[in-house]
């Protein structure tokens, strides 16, 4: 096979020389670009469900939150669903650098469209964001892995540092976009602030692009503007079915299921075609971990929907003048996870090598198991609070919801950065982008399920189908949240225990990958 073919398996070539704090300096450039892209995404996400409920579904009464939860779940699922296509385009057509720049520009365009007062234009804006994110999100994560040699012990720590960039952006975004601008001037202007964040991210990436050197550069023979215009035309066409699926939840579920099955078949066949039993086993292990990832995010992603609505209507914020007003807005809880990530991630990043030196570092499957158990335990905190401290019509103290986010944050750090690193280790070099897209597809399926769960927790499916729901008292609404959160508690604990039991077998399939 020709060496200049996109199909060729490249040897590792280090990025241009230069380090910062023990890591390639290009990591810090990607950190900065991802900071602003996540500022854009999480700033918008903090307002999305509440804006959709109030602006477009208010006529449904109590069913507005349920309808908005399905729209939210559809959007967040497709944001990750298109990642598999974006990974393929980067692998075979544009290269990673141009995919990121084009995807970011498309995302910014969609963000500005969210100012629209009508539902059709608003949904089209979401569709544009979805398509752009597919080109951006998986490819910047893949490039982090390409900065390190396959056996470089810094790789997991590098992904954890990168993950801090994600969450630093996620911390500031809800406070600025929703708590200050959105609350004072309207959520439409909050969306504009998020769009400006994306523009800043593009500026960081372009201005420091030389730090990447050959990493993610154009494929030989694919230079020039023609491939860019071809991908842009394809992106414009893709927005049409994405727009359709945003309002067709059941159809979207079927599409996601087909894509997931197709992905599994592809990687199994790729492992067989490789002629290497080890590679086949590694792909099987990767798919098993994808399943655990789906369960985790279906629970964790209640943050932007059911937990956000819980905060809006059923959580007492701190009283007194010791906090500024924007920190008492319910959207502030969308920053809590990011605060904990930034505070805890350095500890976790240092913990894994420390444990490794003492030969007690948990394997990747066991880290997944710990994360699953802890995400279930986080919901147990809320079940306990509702059952023990809340009378009919009363509200939960903000302390309990904050504690839930703390437990969920530790769980996230056991799965998300570890999973990103795992994909770059288990996939064949020429399929790393596609495998990363598969990782995000598993999150897409999880977000779809999360939207369905949130619709039940916030009002039930009948409200969405046009059947007027029973008007519930505050106590009955909280009881409904409690019932759903109890089921999520059991789901996390049971699946986590299963992964603990399966860990030795999955480790064998990984053939030495740690």
Tokens 């789901």 appear where? 491
CB–CB of 52/72 below 8 Å?
yes
Distances (CA, A) of 312 to 322, 451, 511: 20, 17, 48
Write out the H or E segment, with its range, that includes residue 23: strand 23-24
Q: How far apart are CA 161 and CA 377, in angstroms?
A: 26
Q: Average pLDDT for residues 15-21, to the nearest whole number?
A: 79
Name the burial class of residue 357, with classes exposed (0-12), middle (13-18) and buried (19+) by CB atoms within 10 angstroms of its CB: exposed
Give the least confident one: 99-108, 313-322, 404-413. 313-322
Q: Who's near 118: CB < 8 A, 6+ residues apart?
A: none
- Please, what is the Cα angle at 207 between 201 and 210, to 5 degrees? 120
Phi and psi, residue 24, nearest 5°: -55, 140
pLDDT at 31 over 60: yes
The rounded Cα 421 to chain-centroid distance in angstroms is 15
Q: Measuring CA to CA, how many Å separate 461 from each of 61, 192, 413? A: 13, 32, 32
Q: Encode pLDDT of 192-235 as tens digits.
A: 999 999 999 899 888 888 888 777 777 676 777 888 899 899 99
Question: Which pLDDT tens digit goes with each residue over 370-392?
Answer: 999 999 999 999 999 988 877 76
Residue 169 has pLDDT above 90, yes or no: no
Decide which of 417 and 383 is more confident: 383
pLDDT (0 to 100) of residue 292:
94
Element (H, E) at 24: strand 23-24
Q: Is 463 a residue whose pLDDT tops 70?
A: no
Strands 23-24, 19-20: parallel, antiparallel or unpaired by DSSP?
Answer: antiparallel
Which residue is it, tokens 């500890």? Answer: 347
Q: What DSSP assignment string belongs to 375-389?
A: HHHHHHHHHHHHHHH
Q: With 60 as the cut, is the pLDDT of residue 457 above it?
A: yes
pLDDT at 298 over 60: yes
Distance (Å, whole) CA 172 – CA 404:
20
- The encoded tokens of residue 206 equal 């372009």
More confident residue, 159 or 292: 292
């Amino acid at each position: 096979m020709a060496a200049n073919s996109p199909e060729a398996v490249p040897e590792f070539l280090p990025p241009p020389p230069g380090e910062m704090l023990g890591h390639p300096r290009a990591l810090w450039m990607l950190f900065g670009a991802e900071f602003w892209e996540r500022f854009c995404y999480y700033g918008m996400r903090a307002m999305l469900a509440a804006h959709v409920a109030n602006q477009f579904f208010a006529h449904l009464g109590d069913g507005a939150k349920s309808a908005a939860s399905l729209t939210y779940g559809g959007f967040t699922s497709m944001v990750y669903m298109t990642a598999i296509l974006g990974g393929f385009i980067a692998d075979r057509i544009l290269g990673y650098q141009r995919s990121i720049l084009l995807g970011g520009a498309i995302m910014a365009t969609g963000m500005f469209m969210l100012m629209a007062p009508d539902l059709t234009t608003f949904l089209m804006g979401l569709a544009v964001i979805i398509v752009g994110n597919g080109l951006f999100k998986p490819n910047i994560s893949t490039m982090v892995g390409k900065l390190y040699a396959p056996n470089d012990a810094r790789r997991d720590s590098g992904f954890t540092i990168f993950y801090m960039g994600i969450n630093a952006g996620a911390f500031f975004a809800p406070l600025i976009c929703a708590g200050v601008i959105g609350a004072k001037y309207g959520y439409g202007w909050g969306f504009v602030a998020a769009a400006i964040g994306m523009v800043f991210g593009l500026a960081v990436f372009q201005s420091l692009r030389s730090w990447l050197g050959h990493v993610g550069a154009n494929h030989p023979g694919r230079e020039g503007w023609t491939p860019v215009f071809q991908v842009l035309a394809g992106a414009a066409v893709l927005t049409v079915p994405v727009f359709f699926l945003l309002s067709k939840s059941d159809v979207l579920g079927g599409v996601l299921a087909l894509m997931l099955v197709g992905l599994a078949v592809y990687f199994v066949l790729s492992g067989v075609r490789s002629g290497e039993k080890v590679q086949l086993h590694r792909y099987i292990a990767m798919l098993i971990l994808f399943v655990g990832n789906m369960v985790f995010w279906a629970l964790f992603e209640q943050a932007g929907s059911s937990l956000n609505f819980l905060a809006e209507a059923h959580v007492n914020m701190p009283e007194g003048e010791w906090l500024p007003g924007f920190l008492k807005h319910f959207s502030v809880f969308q920053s809590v996870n990011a605060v904990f990530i930034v505070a805890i991630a350095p500890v976790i990043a240092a913990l894994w090598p420390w444990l490794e030196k003492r030969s007690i570092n948990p394997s990747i499957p066991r880290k997944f198991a710990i994360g699953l158990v802890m995400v279930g335990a986080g919901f147990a905190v809320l079940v306990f609070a509702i059952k023990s401290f809340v009378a009919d019509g009363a509200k939960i103290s903000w302390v309990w919801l904050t504690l839930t986010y703390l437990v969920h944050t530790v769980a996230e750090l056991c799965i998300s950065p570890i999973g990103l690193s795992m994909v770059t280790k288990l996939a064949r070099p020429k399929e790393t982008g596609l495998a990363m897209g598969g990782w995000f597809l598993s999150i897409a399926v999880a977000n779809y399920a999360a939207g369905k769960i949130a619709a039940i927790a916030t009002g039930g499916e009948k409200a969405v189908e046009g059947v007027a729901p029973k008007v519930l008292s505050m106590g009955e609404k909280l009881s409904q949240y409690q019932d759903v959160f109890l089921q999520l508690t059991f789901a996390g604990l049971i699946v986590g225990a299963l992964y603990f039991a399966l860990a030795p077998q999955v480790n064998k399939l990984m053939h030495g990958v740690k």
